[in-house]
Amino acid sequence: MKTNGEPKTREQFYEIMNERIKSVDANPGSNALGTALYIAGETDKDTHVRRYTSGEIFQNLQESKNPDRGYLVGWFANHLAEGEVPFHTGVITSTKPLKVAERKWGELTFNPSKSLEEVEEYLTSSEKDTHLKLLEKRFVVPSKLQKIIDEESSKEGRNMK
């Protein structure tokens, strides 16, 4: 389904997300942060995104304690030069079991559906960047999906009156 403009429903958001997952390839100019932000609709291109830039994007998104399909997951680290920033990022593609689409850190291979545990295992077992210290994992709602969720909540509120 090709859409012009913003998705109006969760189904449209997920269809666009799936189209973007299919369009991701071994783009040597991209990284995990850029690919995840592209899949979630926060950027228009699958490209390299600096940690600091992705950190700014994450700050402007609604955090969630519970992961859901389409949400971004960011593994944050304390970077000596840039402060607390996403060290690695993926997009939740399934909640049962919990799977993410992500570009493997250090190799740049794209994994359209990898278990969260597998990703965390290779992140913690191969800290190649010695100036980083992993701090925590955060789930955030992409802005286009948040707009849909807010509209759904608004409609539910009007229907209850």
| Structure confidence by residue, pLDDT tens digits, 64-94 | 999 999 999 998 877 665 667 788 899 999 9
Q: How confident is the model at residue 113 (pLDDT cuts 50, 70, 90)?
A: very high
Three-class SS state of 110: strand
75: phi then psi, degrees, rounded to nearest 5: -95, 115
pLDDT at 60 over 80: yes
pLDDT at 1: 42
pLDDT exceeds 50 at position 7: yes
35 in a structural domain: yes
For residues 96-122, average pLDDT: 87
Residue 82 lies in a domain: yes
Peptide bond into 97 cis (omega under 30): yes
Residue 100 has what pLDDT?
Answer: 96
- With beta carbons less than 8 A apart as the criterion, state whether 76 and 60 touch: no
pLDDT score at 19: 94
Phi-psi category of residue 16: left, alpha or beta, with phi > 0 → left and psi -120 to 50 → alpha: alpha
Cβ-contact 131, 79 below 8 angstroms = yes
Asked if residue 131 belongs to a domain, the reply is: yes
The verdict on residue 104 lying in a domain is yes
Structural domain total, the chain: 1
Whether the per-residue pLDDT at 126 is higher than 60: the answer is no
Beta-strand relationship, 83-95 and 72-79: antiparallel
Model pTM score: 0.85
State the average pLDDT over residues 39-45: 93
In a domain, 44, yes or no: yes
Q: Is residue 2 part of a domain?
A: no
Q: In which domain, by residue range, is 103 found?
A: 10-156
Q: Region 135-141: what's the mean pLDDT?
A: 88
